[in-house]
Amino acid sequence: MAIYGTALLAACVLIGLFIGDVLGSAIGVKANVGGVGFSMLLLIFASEYLRKRDLLPTPTKEGVHFWSAIYIPVVVAMAAQQNVVAAVKGGPAAILAGALATAVCFALIPAIARIGTKGPTTDAQTIAE
Amino acid sequence: MEDILLDVLTKNGLLTGFAVIGFTMLVSYWLSSRFTRGKLHGSAIAIMLGLALAYVSGLFTGGQKGVADVPLLTGVGLLGGAMIRDFAITATAFGVHFQEIRKAGASGVVSLLVGVILSFVVGAAVAAAFGYTDAVSMTTIGAGAVTYIVGPVTGAAIGASSEVMALSIAAGLVKAILVMIASPFFAPRIGLDNPRTAMVFGGMMGTTSGVCGALAAIDPKLVPYGAMTSTFYTGLGCLLGPSLLFLATQALVD
């Protein structure tokens, strides 16, 4: 039944958010620390476990797939409730602070992504081959 | 008749939300294929439409929650609110390979630390350039450049003025919006097409809404990887902002 999948998903989110809140209060931060991240890990492990034991029939999967498919519209709904007026009104200081922070971090992504790999040589080898 | 219709739409807000967002998606995908031949992804257009609607709604209602402040559209607020958002983001992890996450482990952690600290330094420097030279204001605006949640949390903890708090939230909002809109255009240049880079992207940019919106437009398969790291970013920022980063700023300025 589809509800099994949705229930599994809901349980993972609730447990994950709980862990995030507990972690937040443990380190004295007024925020949920990694709640959704924990939820995702829980879901990954739970589905792996169930799949191996053949306990994940198609209807159950559908109960999760629907929510994963509805994700982009949810993001659009989220965008539609941002305080865009405040962002624009913040003036040049706010716009520059936000924009520069974004640009600088974005530019560094390739360098950080290389950490832990064999480095740019792998690219060169691929081309050589 | 009109009253009854409005009543039905407001009473069943979430359903109205589904219908309105569904229609927005339809229009966006049509615009995408008709005018950009799919080059500008439908979801990117939908997000821009969403932001534009939020701006117009904000101007008319004077509220802070975009279209969700329009009584007829409160359901959109529910649909895009924290509960459904977390639910849907988590669902995207279904079918993710844990190996991919482990492979990117080291660069993911580094990206989180570099992302938070670098955003903070840039934000604080801009604040100083605009005349906010005291440690409290610099820290608060710098924290806002981390995310729009870290800004006010930090500002409240160290006693910033409400003007500075507003600036810091605005800086974070600019970041979230810019990440959403601009990243899809620059994604090919930084090789943002694989799980590893998506995780680093999430860790460097951090704003969950921005990261997930951008990745949805670049390649929906990458969403869970970026979401995974970015979800730790705000927490890390809230941890470092009022403590280490504030003390460091104070030591530098005073």
Does residue B165 contact residue B152 with C-beta atoms inside 8 Å? yes
SS (H, E, C) A75-114: HHHHHCCCCHHHHHHCHHHHHHHHHHHHHHHHHHHHHHHC
Judging contacts by C-beta atoms under 8 Å, the chain B residues touching residue A27 are: 239
Does residue B211 contact residue A67 with C-beta atoms inside 8 Å? no
Q: Measure CB to CB from residue B231 to each of A10, A29, A35 and give the nearest one.
A: A35
**What is the spatial distance between Cα A95 and Cα A83, in angstroms, rounded to a whole number?**
14
At A128, is the pLDDT very low, low, confident or very high (cuts 50, 70, 90)?
A: very low
pLDDT of residue A127: 41
Question: CB neighbours (10 Å) of residue B95?
Answer: 16
- Tell whether B151 lies on the interface with A, counting CB pairs under 8 A: no
At A31, is the pLDDT very low, low, confident or very high (cuts 50, 70, 90)?
A: low
Show the tokens assigned to B218: 């670049």
CB contact under 8 A, A45 and B59: no
At A118, is the pLDDT very low, low, confident or very high (cuts 50, 70, 90)?
A: low
Question: CB neighbours (10 Å) of residue A55?
Answer: 11
Judging contacts by C-beta atoms under 8 Å, the chain B residues touching residue A6 are: none
Among all residues of chain B, which has the CA nearest to that of A118? B103
Judging contacts by C-beta atoms under 8 Å, the chain A residues touching residue B239 are: 27, 29, 33
**What is the spatial distance between Cα A113 and Cα A90, in angstroms, rounded to a whole number?**
33
Mark which residues 30-59 of B lie under 8 Å from A by CB.
Answer: 43, 46-47, 49-55, 57-59
- pLDDT-above-70 percentage for chain B: 98
At B20, is the pLDDT very low, low, confident or very high (cuts 50, 70, 90)?
A: very high
pLDDT of residue A124: 40
**Does the pLDDT at position A123 exceed 50?**
no
Mutate to test the interface with B, among A9, A21, A36, A61 (most CBs of B within 10 A): A36
Show the tokens assigned to B12: 């069943």
Judging contacts by C-beta atoms under 8 Å, the chain A residues touching residue B54 are: 79-85
- pLDDT per residue as tens digits for the range B108-165: 888 889 999 999 999 999 999 988 888 888 999 999 999 887 888 788 778 887 778 8
State how far residue A127 is from chain B, nearest Cα, in angstroms: 16
Show the tokens assigned to B92: 């995207």
Does residue B222 contact residue B215 with C-beta atoms inside 8 Å? yes
**Does the pLDDT at position B38 exceed 80?**
no
- pLDDT per residue as tens digits for the range B165-207: 878 888 888 888 888 888 888 888 888 888 889 999 999 998 8
CB contact under 8 A, B180 and A107: no
Mean pLDDT of B43-65: 86
pLDDT of residue B149: 79
Write down the mean pLDDT value for chain B: 86
